[in-house]
Amino acid sequence: MTGDFYGAFDRELLHDAYNPKRADDYRTVFHQDRDRIMFSPAFRRLQTKTQVFQAGEYDFYRTRLTHSLEVSQIAQSLAIWLRQKHPDVAVELHLLEAICLAHDIGHPPFGHAGERVLNRLMGDFGGFEGNAQTLRILTRTIYDRTDGRGGMSPTRALLDGVLKYKRLYRDRGGDTHHFIYDDQADVLDFCFGRHDLSNDFKSLECQIMDLADDIAYSCFDIVDGWKARFITPDELEARATSDTDEVERHHLGQIRDWMSHGKLQPKMNRQVGELIQSASLTPLENFMSPKTQRYAYGLVITPEARVKIKVQKSLSKELVYGSRILQQTEFKGGAMLEKLTQTFLDNYLAATKPVALVPGDLHRSVLTAEEKPVKARLLCDYLSGMTDGYALRIYKRLFVPDYGSISELI
């Protein structure tokens, strides 16, 4: 393919009952995509949603917001690096930024514990998945309009870029996550037409976002874990056993030395650049590649870079996420969200005369909805959109006798 890397197929806007036509604008459609996400309440709420450590506990730990900004910058650097190696591949930076800024806006409060709780309690109503919720926000709920909530009329390339998973809830098999909602089949049709798709089938922008996410997660969570004393040189010494692969053992030794000499943060910052420059492209052919250059390339990294990311993600998973203190915090957040969710579902789906437990417009929407799955999804939108602090305040207001007042702003 020659000429502009993006064609009319990539720029086409989703237009349906929830997504009205856009007015003419001086910006490109991808620039508009980026702006619509950046200036949305859903994006701002990421500032007090947990990334690893509870949001607000200390000022220097990352939140979902700072993580999304870091992923965006890493992804754009990847695109610039790839353009140097492959001059014909001109990934649009506004589009890539929009995808990265949006990739976590569907995540609920209290991290992965919150996601697991909502998925379990929504099991009879279509489940819950952070990536599916991101897609729902972009196409159904990002704007509050006079006639109800609506989507942002996103481009096909943006929707495709955030679609990490393409398997519907009803087709998930024994897997408990990595799906999108059944009523999002029309978005799949808009992006691809009617095809059976695996979760591994991703556009170039989605691949870049995924790698940027892995780089940010593997490098920066190690730094935060070290600052919080979850990861120490002694623990790394114990892990470097004879059973460990030689390349992995060497990298563990490097990280241990960086920690011992107080150089972990600058070394990890430098490693981000090295991992970016380990990336290259390989040509692909599939049913989408004749339609769009977004599917004409696969993103690959060197074996050494794969080992580094694998080792560092393993350290974060086992020593940070797996720590007793963090698991206790996750358990507490999950327990609060579970009680809130179950209370709302019982009140609005089972009670003969529901009490007004949610904001007025939502209360009316739930009452007027005819089917239980629709009621449950509306409540789930509200719960998953909560920040950690807001969920805590609502919990205390409903269940702590001496908390709250009639004039409290919630």
* The two structure tokens encoding residue 19: 């997504």
- Is there a domain that residue 317 lies in? yes
Distance CA 271, CA 307 (A): 13
Examine the fold and report which residue of 324, 343, 373 is the final residue of a domain before the chain moves on. 324
Residues 83 and 113 in one domain: yes
Residues 306 and 220 in one domain: yes
Residues 179 and 53 in one domain: yes
- Asked if the model's pLDDT at residue 280 lies above 90, the reply is yes
Distance CA 221, CA 105 (A): 19
Distance CA 206, CA 162 (A): 6
Distance CA 9, CA 156 (A): 7
- Residue 357's pLDDT is what? 96
Half-sphere exposure of 406 (CA within 13 A, CB side): 0
- Asked if the model's pLDDT at residue 95 lies above 60, the reply is yes
Q: What is the mean pLDDT of residues 80-98?
A: 97
- Residue 173's pLDDT is what? 84
- Is there a domain that residue 197 lies in? no
Give the three-state DSSP class for 144: strand
Distance CA 338, CA 11 (A): 40
The pLDDT-based confidence of 232 (bands split at 50, 70, 90) is confident
- 348 alpha carbon, distance to own chain's centre: 29
Residues 295 and 376 in one domain: no
The pLDDT-based confidence of 2 (bands split at 50, 70, 90) is very low
Spatial contact of 178 and 199, defined as CB atoms under 8 Å apart? yes
Residues 131 and 187 in one domain: yes
Residues 153 and 294 in one domain: no
DSSP code for 305: H
Distance CA 89, CA 48 (A): 36
Question: How many separate domains does the chain show?
Answer: 3
Residues 319 and 330 in one domain: no
Distance CA 58, CA 176 (A): 32
What mean pLDDT is reported for the chain?
Answer: 91
Q: Which of 63-77, 226-240, 245-259, 327-341 has the lowest mean pLDDT?
A: 226-240
- Asked if the model's pLDDT at residue 73 lies above 70, the reply is yes
Residues 157 and 225 in one domain: no
Residues 146 and 63 in one domain: yes
Spatial contact of 113 and 336, defined as CB atoms under 8 Å apart? no
Is 144 or 106 the better-scoring residue by pLDDT? Answer: 106
- Asked if the model's pLDDT at residue 50 lies above 90, the reply is no
Examine the fold and report which residue of 192, 220, 250 is the final residue of a domain before the chain moves on. 192
Give the three-state DSSP class for 62: coil
Angle at which helix 246-260 crosses helix 303-315, to 10 degrees, equals 60
- Residue 192's pLDDT is what? 95
Examine the fold and report which residue of 192, 218, 252 is the final residue of a domain before the chain moves on. 192
Give the three-state DSSP class for 297: strand
Q: Tokens 């993580």 sit at which residue? A: 67
Q: Tell me how far apart the terminal alpha carbons of the chain are, to the nearest angstrom.
A: 53
Distance CA 106, CA 11 (A): 23
The pLDDT-based confidence of 306 (bands split at 50, 70, 90) is very high
What are the pLDDT digits (tens) for 158-195? 999 999 999 999 998 877 889 999 999 999 999 999 88
Spatial contact of 5 and 89, defined as CB atoms under 8 Å apart? yes
- Beta strands in 78-120, from DSSP E residues, in sequence order: none
Is 223 or 129 the better-scoring residue by pLDDT? Answer: 129
CA-closest candidate to residue 9, choices 297, 295, 291, 296:
291
Burial 148-187 (b: 16+ CB within 10 A, else e): ebbbbbbbbbbbbbbbbbbbbbeebeeeebebbbebbeeb
- Asked if the model's pLDDT at residue 336 lies above 90, the reply is yes
* The two structure tokens encoding residue 61: 């730990």
Structural domain including 337 reads 325-399
